[in-house]
Every structure is written in structure tokens, then in C-alpha cells.
């Protein structure tokens, strides 16, 4: 019988699949695809820094080129949040995750949209989607521009809520220069079909999405898959996958699912210091984050206003936060750093500073508070 998996063993498996034990030589597009996107609502740094922590030789122009050439896009996907994904994944994932957007619209905006019957997607919401598509495909628009234009036809509803209804009903991508390293711009939107010149996948497979999640984030429970995606009723999908998966148990008796050949390193495998980007999906993709994020540190990383700080991994666990500003990268350990970890922190900090064009910057390790 296979021994139960400890949190440390699960952490090592996750780090291996995220290329945080050893950096990868995958190119930017391949890494973005492997990770099933990078969370990107904070523009532009997090996706770039997420790739920097995982790949050798990564430069910002590699990702910028993908966005400019429409090989990658920024669009609301998992959990209803903005992710940077490949063009192919945009066309496949967006229809799969439509239930997430439908639920979010009903729970967050129904009272602010009295003109719309949200229980009938083929009715009022479809009409609004048609109007919005005509507008944003003629010219990319910000939500501040789109909402008032839609309000002419829906005068009892709030313009901002109408723009969010369009976001839920349509696959709206944010067009460059939004999200470009060193430039940036307003979040102006057009439809994925218009931007990419291709239709959405008419028959996307949820089974494939679950398999890809496990390849990048497993082993995992059904609750973990649901937390990452925002979807519900994942249990039947895992059951349907049958022999394509192995079933494991952790030391708390929970059932976890995994790909048979996926890496599951021993708990004794060394884990180097890494600096994770703000909003890194490593911290946001499991119902139980304890394999990476000690519960006592969660509120120091995830703030009450929804910000997820950049974090420092030491021996495979979050051990502090970091922030770079004006050529100074400040690390705030949550406890005294273990012997030898300080050199790793300084090396990773120098790597981030050089990437940001501040090779002559300095690292400050703050006292433990």
C-alpha cells in the first residue's frame, strides 16, 4: 500500500510541476500553456515575474511579442479573474468556464441590472451581448466607455454593471498595450473571435482541462480543482476519468487524484529559494494551501482588499513577502531565515532586479516583525 502523502511531499510534487525545483528551458508560450495561464489582473508585472521564476533565460520581450502578435491574450477565465493564456487556450477555456461567469454575474450584479432577466441567457442577456459585440468589435473600448453606450438601451441599469454583464456574456480580451512590460495602457476590450480571427471551440472537453490541471498542480482533491477553476461538480469528472488517474491519500485521509506518470519527488528533495510573483497561481489553486502556504501566514500574504503579495519560498514554503520599488527590493521574512537561506534570497532578489533593469539596485532584508 502506498504511504499517505504528507503536506511536504505534496509541496515537492507541486514545485516540481511548476518548475520551481529546477528552472525549465521551455519557451514562454510553452510555459504559459503548461501552467494553463498565469493570473494577470495586476498589469503588467505578475505574468512576467511568474515566468522569470520558472524559466532560464526569460526576457520580457518574449512575452510582449506573444501579446503583440496575438499568440497570447489577457482574458477573464479561472475564478472569473484575468489570466494571460495562449490564443488556443483562450478559445478553449473561455466556453468551458462560462458557468463561472454566469454565476458571478447573478450573485454580484443582478440587483443593479433591473432591465435584464439573468435567468434567461438566450433572452435579454443575449441581446445585450449582441449590442456589446458590435461596439467593441468596431473599436476596443474600456468598461468606462462601454457601459454608458449600453445604458442608452437599458436606462434603468447601472452603466458599470452593464459593462460587467458584457464581460460575462462575451469572451472579452484586453488588447495591447495593456499588459506590456514597460509600457502598459488602459484595459480596452474586444472579443476574442475578432482579435484572434477564429471562433471559440464549439466542443471543449472538461476532462482535458482537469488532466491539465493535475499535470501542473497535482496531486489534488476535487475541491482543489474546483477552487482553481471556479467550476462546481468536478467529482463526476474525476470518476469518469477512471484508469487515466491514480487515487492517492494524504495523511489526513483525503482522496487525491493524479496522473500516473507525474513527478512526485521525495520529501527530502531540496527546494531552492524562489521569489514568487504577486498573485502567483501557486498560492491560489488549491482549497488547502498548506502544502505551500502555512495557514498562520495566509493573512500576511492575502490582504483584506484582495491583494496577493509577492512571496519568498524557503525550503518549499512561503517564508516572507517581497516588493521592489525604486531599485530597492525589500524582503520581509515572517520568521528568522534558516542558515544559508539569506544567500539564496539575495541571489533571487538580484535576479529580479536585473530583469527589471535595476542591476545596480540593492536588496534589503527587513527585521522580523
Confidence of residue 360 (pLDDT cuts 50, 70, 90): very high
Residues 325-329, mean pLDDT to the nearest whole number: 95
- For the ranges 112-121, 278-287, 321-330, 354-363, which has the lowest average pLDDT? 112-121
Question: For the chain, what percentages of helix, strand and coil (3-state, to nearest 5) are there?
Answer: 45, 15, 40
pLDDT digits (tens, 9 = 90+) for 84-99: 999 999 999 999 999 9
Q: What is the residue-averaged pLDDT of the chain?
A: 96
Closest CA to 41 of 70, 81, 9, 80: 81
pLDDT reading at 1 higher than 60: no
pLDDT at 122: 67
What gap in Å lies between CA 137 and CA 191, rounded to an integer? 6
pLDDT reading at 3 higher than 90: no
pLDDT reading at 65 higher than 70: yes
pLDDT at 123: 76
Beta carbons of 211 and 241 less than 8 angstroms apart: yes
What gap in Å lies between CA 216 and CA 206, rounded to an integer? 16
pLDDT at 199: 98
Confidence of residue 124 (pLDDT cuts 50, 70, 90): confident
Confidence of residue 2 (pLDDT cuts 50, 70, 90): confident
Residues 346-365, mean pLDDT to the nearest whole number: 96
pLDDT at 200: 98
Give how far the C-alpha of residue 165 lies from the chain's centroid of Cα atoms, to the nearest Å: 22
pLDDT digits (tens, 9 = 90+) for 161-195: 999 999 999 999 999 999 999 988 999 999 999 99
What gap in Å lies between CA 293 and CA 338, rounded to an integer? 17
pLDDT reading at 350 higher than 90: yes
pLDDT digits (tens, 9 = 90+) for 292-305: 999 999 999 998 88
Q: Which residues contact 369 (CB under 8 A, 6 or more apart)?
A: 332
Residues 334-351, mean pLDDT to the nearest whole number: 96
Q: What are phi and psi of 56, to 5 degrees?
A: -85, 140
Element (H, E) at 248: strand 246-249
Strand pairing class (310-314; 274-276): antiparallel
Q: Which residues contact 118 (CB under 8 A, 6 or more apart)?
A: 105, 106, 110, 124, 125
- For the ranges 54-63, 110-119, 154-163, 172-181, which has the lowest average pLDDT? 110-119
Q: How many CB atoms lie within 10 A of CB 109?
A: 19
pLDDT at 349: 98
Q: Which residues of 234-255 are buried (b: 16+ CB within 10 A; e: fewer)?
A: beebbeeeeeebbebebeeeee
Amino acid at each position: 500500500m502506498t504511504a499517505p502523502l504528507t503536506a511536504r511531499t505534496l509541496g515537492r510534487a507541486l514545485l516540481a510541476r511548476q518548475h520551481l525545483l529546477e528552472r525549465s528551458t521551455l519557451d514562454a508560450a510553452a510555459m504559459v500553456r503548461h501552467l494553463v495561464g498565469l493570473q494577470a489582473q495586476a498589469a503588467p508585472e505578475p505574468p512576467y515575474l511568474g515566468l522569470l521564476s520558472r524559466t532560464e533565460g526569460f526576457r520580457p520581450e518574449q512575452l510582449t511579442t506573444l501579446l503583440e502578435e496575438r499568440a497570447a491574450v489577457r482574458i477573464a477565465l479561472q475564478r472569473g479573474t484575468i489570466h494571460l493564456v495562449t490564443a488556443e487556450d483562450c478559445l478553449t477555456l473561455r466556453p468551458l468556464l462560462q458557468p463561472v461567469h454566469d454565476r458571478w454575474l447573478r450573485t454580484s450584479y443582478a440587483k443593479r441590472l433591473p432591465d435584464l432577466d439573468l435567468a434567461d441567457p438566450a433572452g435579454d442577456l443575449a441581446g445585450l451581448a449582441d449590442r456589446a459585440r458590435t461596439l467593441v468589435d468596431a473599436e476596443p473600448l474600456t468598461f468606462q466607455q462601454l457601459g454608458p453606450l449600453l445604458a442608452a438601451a437599458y436606462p434603468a441599469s447601472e452603466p458599470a454593471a452593464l459593462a460587467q454583464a458584457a464581460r460575462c456574456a462575451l469572451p472579452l480580451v484586453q488588447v495591447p498595450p495593456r499588459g506590456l512590460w514597460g509600457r502598459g495602457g488602459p484595459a480596452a476590450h474586444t472579443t476574442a473571435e475578432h482579435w484572434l480571427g477564429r471562433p471559440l471551440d464549439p466542443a471543449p472537453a472538461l476532462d482535458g482541462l482537469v488532466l491539465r490541471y493535475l499535470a501542473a498542480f497535482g496531486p489534488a482533491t476535487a475541491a482543489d480543482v474546483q477552487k482553481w477553476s471556479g467550476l462546481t461538480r468536478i467529482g463526476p469528472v474525476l470518476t469518469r476519468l477512471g484508469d487515466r488517474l491514480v487515487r492517492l491519500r494524504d495523511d489526513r485521509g483525503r482522496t487525491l487524484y493524479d496522473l500516473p506518470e507525474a513527478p512526485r519527488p521525495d520529501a527530502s528533495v531540496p527546494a531552492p529559494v524562489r521569489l514568487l510573483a504577486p498573485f502567483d497561481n501557486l498560492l491560489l489553486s488549491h482549497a488547502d494551501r498548506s502544502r505551500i502556504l502555512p495557514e498562520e501566514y495566509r493573512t500576511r500574504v492575502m490582504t483584506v482588499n484582495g491583494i496577493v503579495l509577492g512571496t519568498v519560498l524557503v525550503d518549499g514554503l512561503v517564508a516572507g513577502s517581497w516588493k521592489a520599488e525604486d531599485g530597492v527590493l525589500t524582503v520581509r521574512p515572517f520568521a528568522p531565515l534558516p542558515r544559508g537561506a539569506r544567500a539564496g534570497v539575495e541571489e533571487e532578489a538580484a535576479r529580479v532586479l536585473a530583469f527589471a533593469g535595476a542591476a545596480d539596485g540593492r536588496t534589503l532584508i527587513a527585521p522580523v516583525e
